[in-house]
């Protein structure tokens, strides 16, 4: 019985790592091109964040609270796991723990409100943290206008260099005798009488398999369409995100420094990748089709923000690379994880912004399900064939949309003139999003704000 794993990002590799450790005699085939175009895992910072991802309202929304509690389970896993992977691979995996959460006044009140929500959550869960003086953060040297108004240090939230992490996993798995890597793309999942029988490849011979874990990130829907299985699942989109890798020499930050999430994205961060390199992130837009190159506005905003809000000396940093990754983002924005009505087919995608962090827990669950058919982990919220989950009321969604859109405008240089303009703009967005709700018949539920264009242009039909 071969287990086919479709996708060689963090979810695929961690699943292969966990399955092959628990069952060293079961053949596991990891399918995915070595080039890993659009691989979200490689574009990630990659931060191990639970609390820093909290926004105003997260913990009072019962679904988002469950999602947070799920994410939080991985926190305690990473320190030991990184040590284990370093030891097993004999490779350097640059990473660390201790994140400075800062807020500054370059955007608007949403930043303060999200910062306060994180502080309240740290207190509620008894998570260690302490006030910090922003001026004392090593290699944090923003411009006067971009300086932080407050900072807290959260010792258990960390980061890792994702290139090092995936390389170490590749190396460990390639030495496991039951794991093979297939440098090809899956073309179709082959089924017969409602059961998985194999995986057709784009170039090579089909792989015969009775079980398949499909974890090919944002390309999930394309594969399901080719397999004739797309009617079973909600659509997964490309959350196109860019990060910039800088060589900063002695000015590289030593800890992760980040803001709370900002409007329509994850805020600004600087995460060390080596002793002299940092990655600055991240942009985000949702697309029905893949985009391989970063847009100029994303790169411009990242570099400008790095110099103004992290370290003014980065004007002389060298731009080593712009990473582009596709966050797998489902139509209702929740992950799709678990078994399906097709016997032998398991799905793990839609992790959006925190899949790298959550991968140890997801991999354990997939291992339980594929080897034993049961797990102590309750994953009903993420059942792959669920109807779209409605996270927000219509009023909540409209308010959120207005707040996030205006905050996003500030991130891109908006300065309102004196007068009524800002209130007029708010009213415009309120009217526009209300009209979209009317148009699609969303009476008692709200459109997830990231998905505005997907509903507007008919990529999601309610
Ligand atoms: C800019 C950015 C920043 C992020 N920051 C963070 C962060 O700080 N912390 C965090 O936890 N998460 C972060 N994320 C989210 C995180 O990266 C994802 O949730 C996670 O990496 C998803 O992993 P995956 O393995 O499902 O998908 P991916 O990493 O996208 O991997 C999927 C792989 O499947 C391959 N593939 C595609 N189609 C096929 C096919 N047909 N056959 C075979 N292989 C195929 C692809 O080439 C790719 O290599 C970030 C994402 C982005 C884009």
Supply the pLDDT for residue 265. Answer: 80
- In this prediction, residues 360-389 reach a mean pLDDT of 97
Cα 41 to ligand 1 centroid, rounded to whole Å: 4
pLDDT reading at 446 higher than 90: yes
Q: Are residues 207 and 242 in the same domain?
A: no
CB atoms within 10 A of CB 371: 16
Three-class SS of residue 268?
Answer: coil
Residue 322 and residue 295 in contact, taking contact as beta carbons nearer than 8 Å:
no
Cα 166 to ligand 1 centroid, rounded to whole Å: 11
Q: Are residues 231 and 249 in the same domain?
A: no
Cα 297 to ligand 1 centroid, rounded to whole Å: 22
Q: Are residues 143 and 243 in the same domain?
A: yes
Q: What is the pTM of this model?
A: 0.97
Cα 442 to ligand 1 centroid, rounded to whole Å: 31
Beta bridge partners of 188: 200
Supply the pLDDT for residue 461. Answer: 86
Cα 324 to ligand 1 centroid, rounded to whole Å: 10
Q: Are residues 156 and 173 in the same domain?
A: no
Asked whether residue 155 is domain-assigned, the answer is yes
The residue behind tokens 């020499």 is 249
- In this prediction, residues 345-372 reach a mean pLDDT of 97
Of 327, 357, 374, the domain-final residue = 327
Q: Are residues 210 and 303 in the same domain?
A: no
Q: Give buried/exposed letters for 142-172 (b at 16+ CB in 10 A, else e).
A: beeebbbebbbbbebbbbbbbbbbbebbbeb
Cα 350 to ligand 1 centroid, rounded to whole Å: 9
Start-end of H helices in 76-209: 78-89, 109-124, 162-174
pLDDT reading at 1 higher than 90: no
Question: 38: which residues sit within 8 A by CB, 6+ positions away?
Answer: 217, 218, 219, 238, 290, 292, 324, 325, 326
User: If pLDDT is split at 50, 70 and 90, which confidence band does 291 have?
Assistant: very high
Supply the pLDDT for residue 264. Answer: 84
Mutate to test the pocket of ligand 1, among 13, 40, 72, 200 (most ligand atoms within 8 A of CB): 40
Q: Are residues 135 and 252 in the same domain?
A: yes
Supply the pLDDT for residue 375. Answer: 98
Cα 309 to ligand 1 centroid, rounded to whole Å: 27
Q: What is the CATH number of the domain that holds 274?
A: 3.30.9.10
Q: If you take atom 5 of ligand 1, which residue's CA is the nearest one?
A: 44
- In this prediction, residues 61-76 reach a mean pLDDT of 97
Cα 9 to ligand 1 centroid, rounded to whole Å: 5
Residue 445 and residue 390 in contact, taking contact as beta carbons nearer than 8 Å:
yes
Asked whether residue 462 is domain-assigned, the answer is no
Asked whether residue 387 is domain-assigned, the answer is no
Q: What is the CATH number of the domain that holds 213?
A: 3.50.50.60
Asked whether residue 71 is domain-assigned, the answer is no
Supply the pLDDT for residue 462. Answer: 78
Q: Report the candidate in 103, 106, 97 with the shortest Cα–Cα distance to residue 55.
A: 103
Beta bridge partners of 286: 239
> Which atom of ligand 1 has the smallest separation from the CA of 243?
1
Strand order in the sheet with 345-349: 179-182, 28-31, 3-6, 211-214, 345-349, 336-339
The residue behind tokens 């959350």 is 239
Of the ranges 27-41, 58-72, 409-423, which one carries the lowest mean pLDDT score? 409-423
Q: Whole-angstrom Cα distance, residue 332 to residue 23? A: 35
Q: Are residues 282 and 415 in the same domain?
A: no
The residue behind tokens 């979200």 is 40
Q: Are residues 336 and 201 in the same domain?
A: yes
Mutate to test the pocket of ligand 1, among 355, 358, 359 (most ligand atoms within 8 A of CB): 355
Q: For 106-142, write each residue's pLDDT tens digit.
A: 999 999 999 999 999 999 999 999 999 999 999 999 9
Q: Are residues 176 and 147 in the same domain?
A: no
Question: 415: which residues sit within 8 A by CB, 6+ positions away?
Answer: none
Supply the pLDDT for residue 125. Answer: 98
Q: Whole-angstrom Cα distance, residue 449 to residue 445? A: 12
Asked whether residue 76 is domain-assigned, the answer is no
CA angle 119, 125, 131 (to 5 degrees): 35
> Which atom of ligand 1 has the smallest separation from the CA of 217?
27
Mutate to test the pocket of ligand 1, among 4, 9, 357 (most ligand atoms within 8 A of CB): 9
Mutate to test the pocket of ligand 1, among 187, 216, 239 (most ligand atoms within 8 A of CB): 216
Cα 285 to ligand 1 centroid, rounded to whole Å: 15
Q: Whole-angstrom Cα distance, residue 134 to residue 259? A: 12
pLDDT reading at 369 higher than 90: yes
Supply the pLDDT for residue 107. Answer: 94
Kindly state the percentage of the chain with pLDDT values over 70.
100
Q: For 264-273, write each residue's pLDDT tens digit.
A: 888 999 999 9
Q: Are residues 156 and 243 in the same domain?
A: yes
Q: Are residues 343 and 361 in the same domain?
A: yes
Cα 328 to ligand 1 centroid, rounded to whole Å: 7
Q: If you take atom 25 of ligand 1, which residue's CA is the nearest one?
A: 9
Cα 264 to ligand 1 centroid, rounded to whole Å: 19
For the chain, what is the domain count?
3
Supply the pLDDT for residue 374. Answer: 97
What mean pLDDT, rounded, does the chain reach? 97
Q: If you take atom 22 of ligand 1, which residue's CA is the nearest one?
A: 355
- In this prediction, residues 393-409 reach a mean pLDDT of 96
- In this prediction, residues 442-451 reach a mean pLDDT of 96
Cα 355 to ligand 1 centroid, rounded to whole Å: 7
User: If pLDDT is split at 50, 70 and 90, which confidence band does 196 have?
Assistant: very high
Q: Are residues 377 and 232 in the same domain?
A: yes
Instruction: Give residue 373's domain range.
Output: 3-39+164-236+332-382
Asked whether residue 225 is domain-assigned, the answer is yes
Name residues contacting ligand 1 (CB within 6 A): 6-12, 31-33, 36-37, 39-41, 43-47, 185-186, 215-217, 219, 223, 241, 243, 281-282, 325-328, 349, 351-357
Asked whether residue 63 is domain-assigned, the answer is no
Name the DSSP letter for residue 310: I
Supply the pLDDT for residue 3. Answer: 97
Read off the tokens for 434: 């209300």
- In this prediction, residues 83-95 reach a mean pLDDT of 98
Q: If you take atom 41 of ligand 1, which residue's CA is the nearest one?
A: 186
Asked whether residue 151 is domain-assigned, the answer is yes
Q: If you take atom 14 of ligand 1, which residue's CA is the nearest one?
A: 353
pLDDT reading at 38 higher than 90: yes
Burial class (CB in 10 A: 0-12, 13-18, 19+), 411: buried
Q: Whole-angstrom Cα distance, residue 336 to residue 348? A: 6
Of 288, 306, 327, the domain-final residue = 327
């Amino acid at each position: 019985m071969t287990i086919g794993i479709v996708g060689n990002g963090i979810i695929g590799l961690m699943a292969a790592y966990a399955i092959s450790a628990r069952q060293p005699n079961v053949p596991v085939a990891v399918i995915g091109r070595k080039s890993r175009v659009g691989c979200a895992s490689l574009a990630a910072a990659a931060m191990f964040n639970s609390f820093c991802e909290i926004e105003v309202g997260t913990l009072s929304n019962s679904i988002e609270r469950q999602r947070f509690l799920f994410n939080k389970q991985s926190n305690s896993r990473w320190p030991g796991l990184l040590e284990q992977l370093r030891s097993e691979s004999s490779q350097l995996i640059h990473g660390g723990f201790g994140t400075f959460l800062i807020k500054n006044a370059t955007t608007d009140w949403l930043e303060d409100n999200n910062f306060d929500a994180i502080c309240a959550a740290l207190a509620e869960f008894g998570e260690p943290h302490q006030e910090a003086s922003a001026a004392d953060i090593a290699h944090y040297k923003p411009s006067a206008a971009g300086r932080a108004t407050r900072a807290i240090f959260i010792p258990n939230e960390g980061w890792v260099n994702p290139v090092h992490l995936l390389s170490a996993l590749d190396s460990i798995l390639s030495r496991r005798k039951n794991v093979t890597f297939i440098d090809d793309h899956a073309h179709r999942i082959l089924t017969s009488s409602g059961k998985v029988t194999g995986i057709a490849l784009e170039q090579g011979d089909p792989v015969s398999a009775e079980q398949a874990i499909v974890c090919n990130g944002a390309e999930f829907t394309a594969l399901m369409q080719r397999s004739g299985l797309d009617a079973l699942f909600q659509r997964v989109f490309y959350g196109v995100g860019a990060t910039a890798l800088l060589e900063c020499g002695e000015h590289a930050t030593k800890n992760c420094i980040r803001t709370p999430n900002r409007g329509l994205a994850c805020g600004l961060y600087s995460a060390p990748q080596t002793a002299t390199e940092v990655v600055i992130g991240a942009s985000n837009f949702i697309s029905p089709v893949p985009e391989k190159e970063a847009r100029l506005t994303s790169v411009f905003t990242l570099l400008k923000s790095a110099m103004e809000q992290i370290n003014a000396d980065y004007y002389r940093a060298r731009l080593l690379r712009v990473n582009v990754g596709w966050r797998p983002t489902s139509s209702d924005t929740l992950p799709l994880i678990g078994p399906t009505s097709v016997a032998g087919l398991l799905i793990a995608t839609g992790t959006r912004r925190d899949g790298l962090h959550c991968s140890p827990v997801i991999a354990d669950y997939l291992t339980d399900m594929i080897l034993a058919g049961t797990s102590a982990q309750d994953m009903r919220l993420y059942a792959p064939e669920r109807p779209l989950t409605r996270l927000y009321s219509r009023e909540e969604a409209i308010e959120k949309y207005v707040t996030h859109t205006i905050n996003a405008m500030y991130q891109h240089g908006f300065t309102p003139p004196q007068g009524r303009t800002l209130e007029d703009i708010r009213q415009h967005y309120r009217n526009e999003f209300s009209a979209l709700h009317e148009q699609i018949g969303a009476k008692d539920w709200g459109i997830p704000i990231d998905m505005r264009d997907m509903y507007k242009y008919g990529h999601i039909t309610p």
